[in-house]
Amino acid sequence: MQTRSTLHPARLEVLRQLFTAVAEEMGGSLRRAAYSPNIKERRDYSCAVFHPEGPPVAMGDHMPVHLGAMPMSVDAVLRTIPELAPGDVAVVNDPFHGGTHLPDLTLVAPVSLEPGGHHLGYVAARAHHSDVGGMSPGSMPLSREIFQEGLRIPPVRLLRNGARVEEVWSLLLANVRTPREREGDLDAQIGALHTGARRLREMAERRGPAVLREEMEALLDYADRLLARGVALIPDGRYTAEDHMEDDGAGNGPLRIQAAVEIRGEEVHVDFQGTAGQTAGGINAVAAITHSAVRYVVRCVVEDLLATPIPAGGGRMAPLSVTAPEGSLVNALPPAGVAAGNVETSQRITDVVLRAFALALPHRMPGLSQGTMNNVAVGGIDPRSGTPFTYYETAGGGMGAGPTRPGLSGVHVHMSNTLNTPVEALEHAYPFRVERYQLRRGSGGRGRHAGGEGLRRDLRFLGEAEVTVLAERRLQGPEGAQGGNAGGRGETVLIREGQEKSLPGKVTFRALPGDVLSLRTPGGGGWGPPAPPDPPK
């Protein structure tokens, strides 16, 4: 634990808002300049500010799965390129060196007041690119090894002294299906770094670099103190829960994820012993993903108990420790496929850790949310222009109900925090037509408080395309809590010439012109026993 800060609580709150505003402004800059609908419309990106030694000081209200893992990316960059200088920008996406999955490209840059001066800190921007090569468009394939998923980038310089490292740019753009879009999105990320660096320099010029560093350290200390205080409110004990991934897309499943949450005073340890080993299909999660999911759940629980927000960086998370066995589904080793580990397994890890906390705090924990991101990746040649296109999107569903309120309907939950692509933007950018978009009435689990409803979205293809769907909760819906009913399970349906065909949760197929992909997402679990039906009159 760090030495207690002497800064006044009011000043700490002002600082929390100030540093968070820097990360939020970075996100706004990235969104406005981005080329792809996935970043511009869905906001599948995250930005953060880091202390000169690496811990996160502030993060925008962006993607939990990105933000919790980003400290490992920054750490990997600093270990690999210790001489990173002002004007340099590093890029990394390697899941086994601080990344999450290959479409998530993370850019990191140091910030100084003057050339050769001490670093004020680091700024980072991560964005999900809708293609980075690999065996199928969208780079979210039913893979069996990492090499099938796209271009793997260890920490390398993308810019040196403010100028592009042309060899790296050329290598990257030569391995993707949509290079112009990738280049535009990378430029947008660099613009976001410039925005964050400018704001940090302005703060240092007003306060002085030494004061700025003191304020960063005070926020880190404050976050750790809040976390420890919240953990101390949880009854001591060991609470174990488990759930399963339905399948890995390669014929294996169900695959168990088990977690034991141990509370000892102000410390919390999460142990994943008993989890299945890494598997042939691409649902394996790397350590960064598992740590990200655990950090997210612990922050949610503590903020609920304290009824106060923790600084968005989460501090050093000193009271928290995690054990994830190497070579397991939650700490995969090369050459495991990991494309769906970031999006699907992260949700299940969240579910399992929440269920463990529910044993300690049964009347505070909600029912399970939809437990999947319902990933859809499509690519081919746009018949309108004759040029290649790649499309990627996740779909919302039902949120689990809680002890004081029903679940929200048709929203992204837990490790995802994106929006949908508006129908107008989608139909303008891609050769699709959205023929139906509605809530799935009755899909939310019944209870004293009902779970949120899932969605149905029907997408008609105007030309041939290769389609990949990665989804979960197709065999069993999300469980309720305290006697609430489970939410409805999801379904993926191909409609061809008017005939419906149910598809597996993880599937790749060739769509023909006129085919309709009907994505029907799970509802959320209910909370508390449902009220008995009214007696007949």
Residues 326-351: tens digit of each pLDDT? 999 999 999 999 999 999 999 999 99
Residues found in the chain: 537
Q: Which residues pair with 56 in a beta bridge?
A: 50
What is the DSSP-derived secondary structure letter of residue 345?
A: I
pLDDT for 115: 77
pLDDT for 229: 96
pLDDT for 1: 38
pLDDT for 315: 77
| Averaged pLDDT for residues 12-36 | 94
pLDDT for 62: 65
Tell me whether the omega of the peptide bond preceding residue 254 falls within 30 degrees of 0, making it cis: yes
128 pLDDT more than 60:
yes
Sheet containing strand 104-112, strands side by side? 56-59, 45-50, 119-128, 104-112, 89-92, 156-160, 163-164
185 pLDDT more than 60:
yes
Would you kindly state where each structural domain of the chain is located, as residue ranges? Answer: 9-134+146-225, 366-537
pLDDT for 385: 96
298 pLDDT more than 60:
yes
**pLDDT tier for residue 3 given thresholds of 50, 70 and 90:** very low
Residues 77-96: tens digit of each pLDDT? 999 999 999 999 999 999 99
Residues 6+ apart with CB under 8 A from 7: 15, 215, 218, 222
Give the least confident one: 222-226, 312-316, 426-430.
312-316
Residues 6+ apart with CB under 8 A from 29: 188, 191, 192, 194, 195
Mean pLDDT for all residues in the chain: 94
3-state SS, residue 515: coil
pLDDT for 395: 96
56 pLDDT more than 50:
yes
Calpha distance 213→117 (Å, rounded) = 14
**pLDDT tier for residue 313 given thresholds of 50, 70 and 90:** low
152 pLDDT more than 70:
yes
| Averaged pLDDT for residues 384-413 | 97
CA atoms lying within 13 Å on the CB side of residue 166: 0
pLDDT for 7: 83
**pLDDT tier for residue 253 given thresholds of 50, 70 and 90:** very high
235 pLDDT more than 70:
yes
pLDDT for 2: 41
| Averaged pLDDT for residues 502-529 | 98
| Averaged pLDDT for residues 237-242 | 98
| Averaged pLDDT for residues 194-215 | 95
Give the least confident one: 4-8, 132-136, 444-448.
4-8
Please give the sequence-ordered ranges of beta strands (E in DSSP) within 26-143, or none if there are none: 45-50, 56-59, 89-92, 104-112, 119-128
Burial grade of 162 (CB within 10 A; 0-12, 13-18, 19 or more): exposed
Give CA torsion, residues 296, 297, 301, 303, to 10 deg. 10
134 pLDDT more than 80:
yes
